[in-house]
Amino acid sequence: MSDVLRELFAVIEDRKETLPEDSYTAELFTHEKGENAALEKLGEEATEFLLAAKDGDEDELAHEGADIIYHMLVVLAQHDMDADDLLDELEARR
């Protein structure tokens, strides 16, 4: 799993650096709301995740869980953190 997170984070970092015009990720870094755009999406996805869990919708639960992780990684990138910062913290909690 850590390889997938690192690979996804590398893509996010690349989008942050290159800002391709057709990239949703780049849009989050350049949005007029600033960091709030990604934070709002993270909150929205968390609510959708909770509702999917309440409803027992496993497909939606996986989908929304992935959205949470993606938007969380964007927020970490906005704060110049690295995927290893997150993975190290998780490892320390084992």
What is the maximal distance between C-alpha atoms in the chain? 40
Average pLDDT over residues 56-76: 97
pLDDT tier for residue 50 given thresholds of 50, 70 and 90 = very high
Q: Where are the beta strands (DSSP E) in 3-68?
A: none
Residue-level pLDDT at 13: 97
Does 1 score more than 80 pLDDT? no
Q: Is 86 helix (H, G, I), strand (E, B) or coil?
A: helix
Instruction: Quote the pLDDT of residue 80.
Output: 96
Task: Grade residue 2 by pLDDT with cuts at 50, 70 and 90.
Answer: confident
Q: What is the mean pLDDT of the segment spanning 45-66? A: 97
Average pLDDT of every residue of the chain:
95
- pLDDT of residue 67 exceeding 90: yes
Of the CA atoms within 13 Å of residue 62, those in its CB half-sphere come to 2
